[in-house]
Amino acid sequence: MESMLRKQKEMLSKIASGNGHGENSPYFDGWKAYETDPYHPTKNPNGVIQMGLAENQLCFDLVQQWLLNNPEASICTAEGVNDFRNIAIFQDYHGLPEFRNAVAKFMGKVRGNRVKYDPDRIVMSGGATGAHETVAFCLADPGEAFLVPTPYYPGFDRDLRWRTGVQLVPVECYSSNNFEITREAMEAAYQKAQEDNITIKGLLLTNPSNPLGTYLHRETLRSLVNFINEKNIHLVCDEIYAATVFSGQRDFISISEIIEEDTACNRNLIHLVYSLSKDMGFPGFRVGIIYSYNDTVVSCARRMSSFGLVSSQTQHLIASMLSDDEFVDGFLMESAKRLAKRHRAFTCGLSQVGIGCLKSNAGLFLWMDLHHLLKEQTYEAEMKLWKVIIDEVKLNVSPGSSFHCPNPGWFRVCFANMDKETMEVALSRIRSFMRKNKEPKLPVKKLCWTKSLRLSTSFKRLDDIISSPCMSPQSPLVRART
């Protein structure tokens, strides 16, 4: 059987027969464990709970109500069927003008309307996955590389490398300084690549970060823009979690704001990747966006988008939804409230059994610190603990090693892809696991408080809807690593 499979592979291309997709990663192994034994409250109450999927399911009721109130937005309803012919016929790869206008306006609104986006620079793609690959094709040749600060999303190894032949060079960031990106780390990674005869063509950032749930401050962004200008390399900024910032939202800074302030910046080096998968919770719609300040990249990416367009039916619906200012404003505010409430509930539940997380206020996940449960501070020990969590605790959490984290013992835990009842089951399982491990419970007084959240003025009303006495997500839980 093995020899037959080997002969079959020999007849295929290197891409088809290779392992470039990265499915052998524990990140994807966790998904497989869930798919073979999925949790259901009645049909399979002992199954694996999916906590490895960064998906925002907390506001579907708002979207569903909008659809009921606006049936004409869909060409598959009696109210919208008159538009069926115009939407169903051939559309070129520029996309519907109303779609590009609505997306450009939405991108500006998510960033506090401090920057404006040109609809003519909007290039659509089949999700952020397709957008990243297209940008990689436009900016680098096979064998050339992008710098990527760690920890980073495991899918980048597939999205940017598999079919393009591009390499990723990690910029190692450590827990000792909360995984912040430093100029020293950037220079070290760049120098190491030069010594290895690897041509660096760009820097890839994720802001807010997946898996950290943090966003970059203005000073850091300015430093990184100066770095890429000095090296004359590209900057690709993935901002797909921009609207998931649930506290201190006015402090979120897009790379677009930085280049508006920095007149010396070479705009031809700046490119954004965006989507509606996280901010709106629409991963199934496969709406990916490339926004480049480089005219040649816009032109090339648009031609390449023919291989992964967004359906005109989806464009039509999204254009109508995002053009409704009242709905968008309400959705963004309510989404931030619900994410804050869920984040607060989960961090409190973890803290009560002595589990800390990186201080965060964005994203759909927590960066959970379990290094104190490792028998030794190694990746092997991390994988043993992860196997216990998957096989015995029955939670699919993602180990830090799959995110190229240089410090063992960190795990990404997604909290927005489930209902409240499932979250409570997950927390109950974690409590049982910690009791079995006889982990000493930290004093509650150090972990919980009754004072209000330290949020920006526009988010103070969160205190009215979050009644739990547990610690604010703004309170640092990160312990020094031993």
Quick one: which of 308, 239, 322 has its CA closest to 93? 308
Residues 23 and 12: their CA atoms lie apart, in Å, by 19
* Largest distance between two CA atoms of the chain: 67
Q: What is the DSSP letter of 355?
A: -
CA torsion 211-153-228-406 (nearest 10°) is: 70
Q: Where are the beta strands (DSSP E) in 54-165?
A: 122-126, 145-149
Query: Of how many residues is the chain composed?
Result: 482
Q: How far is CA 302 from the centre of its chain?
A: 24
Two structure tokens written together for 77:
């309803």
Two structure tokens written together for 296:
């040649």
Do residues 123 and 146 touch, judged by C-beta distance below 8 A? no
The continuous run of DSSP H or E covering 270 comes out as: strand 270-275
Q: Contacts for 468-472 with beta carbons within 8 Å, 24 or more apart?
A: 468/344, 468/345, 468/348, 470/344, 470/345, 470/347, 470/348, 470/349, 470/351, 470/352, 471/347, 471/348, 471/351, 471/447, 472/344
String of DSSP letters for 203-259: EEEESS-TTT-----HHHHHHHHHHHHHHT-EEEEE-TTGGG--SSGGG---HHHHH
Residues 390 and 100: their CA atoms lie apart, in Å, by 42
Residues 428 and 42: their CA atoms lie apart, in Å, by 17
Name the 3-class secondary structure at 170.
strand
Single-letter amino acid, residue 312: S
Active site residues: 153, 238, 240, 278
- Hey, how many other C-beta atoms are within 10 angstroms of the C-beta on 468? 12
Name the 3-class secondary structure at 413.
strand
Two structure tokens written together for 366:
């927590």
